[in-house]
Structure formats: C-alpha cells, structure tokens
A = this chain, B = another copy of it.
Amino acid sequence: MDRVDNSLIALRRIIRATELYGRDLKQIAGITAVQFRALQIIGEKGYATAKEVSTRMRVSQATVTSLVDKLVRENMVTREKSETDRRQTDICITEQGRDTLENAPDPLQQRFVRKFAAMEDWEQTMLQAMLERVASMMDAEDLDASPVLDTGDIKH
C-alpha cells in the first residue's frame, strides 16, 4: 500500500538530483541550465527562430528574447534577420557556442550513463520500458522532452 509513496519519493529524489546539478553547472561552467537548453536547441541545426525555441522550451517569446539577449552578450549566438520572412530572427550559434555545447560538464548524466551501462542487458531494457511508462503517466500531452535534463546529449 505504500508502494505509491515510495515510488513518489524515488521520483522526488530523481528530480531533486537534476535540480542540484543545475546549480553546479552554473557555478562550474558559467552557463545556466536554461541557457544551455536554449543553446542546445539552437545548436541542433546551427540556428533557430525565437518562436521555435519558445515552443520547444514551452516558455513565452518574451522569455526567449531575454534568454537570447544573455546568450548574445556571452557571444554564444548571434541574431540575424531572416531572409525569407523578415519578421523572423534567426538565432545562430557561434563557434564559442558550439564549444560550450561540446565541453559542458555533465556529471549527472555521466553518473546515470555509467551505472546504466553496468546493468545487465535485460535490466536495461526493463528500466527503459519502466521510465517510458512513468513518463507517459506524468505528461499528458506529447511533450518535447529535450529542454529538460539540462545537460546535453550523451557522450558515449
């Protein structure tokens, strides 16, 4: 009967771990988790519109504007008026932005990845299935998950 409770507690611990990691990242790498998420999205194709970032991160456009302001100040990205639709602004990643993307530390994921790799094959499969199950239990809509674990793609 308190399987639910224990499951929820575990969930809290997981979420908490990512929160704390976000704070570390800020201190260590000089970029915040949120800025990093935005940078990741921009980095995927090398550029992105504000709208796209806004939609994918699920924040308002105003928020994206101020986020991009900071990234511009830090020379991670540049703004360039779109040629095709002059209402749009392409936010383009710079060399330095790429650099940051590639070199940001990701101790949290590494910890996960390391332990994951150490598991038995069947256990990995099971874990994946379970996590996906929980995810669909918790997010109603079909969310774009990318903006969240704060920490870039996995480097194997």
Report if A10 contacts B (CB, 8 A).
Answer: yes
| Of the residues B3, B5, B136, B149, contact of A8 by C-beta under 8 Å | B149
Known pairs A15-B18, A20-B58, A135-B14; A8 contacts B154 (CB<8 A): yes
* A interface size (C-beta, 8 A): 51
A 104-131 to B, binary, CB cutoff 8 A, 1 in contact else 0? 0000110111011100000011111011
Indicate how many identical chains form the complex. 2
| Of the residues B18, B131, B133, B143, contact of A17 by C-beta under 8 Å | B143
Contact B3 A124 (CB under 8 A): yes
Q: Would you list which residues of chain A between 1 and 41 have a CB under 8 Å from chain B?
A: 3-20
Contact A8 B109 (CB under 8 A): yes
Contact A145 B4 (CB under 8 A): no
Q: How far is the CA of A108 from the CA of B11 in the complex (A)?
A: 12
| Chain B contacts for A74, CB-based, 8 A | none
Known pairs A4-B154, A10-B128, A13-B145; A137 contacts B117 (CB<8 A): no
A 48-80 to B, binary, CB cutoff 8 A, 1 in contact else 0? 000000000010000000000000000000000
Seen from chain A, the residues whose Cβ lies within 8 Å of a Cβ on chain B are 3-20, 58, 108-109, 111-113, 115-117, 124-128, 130-140, 143, 145-149, 154, 156
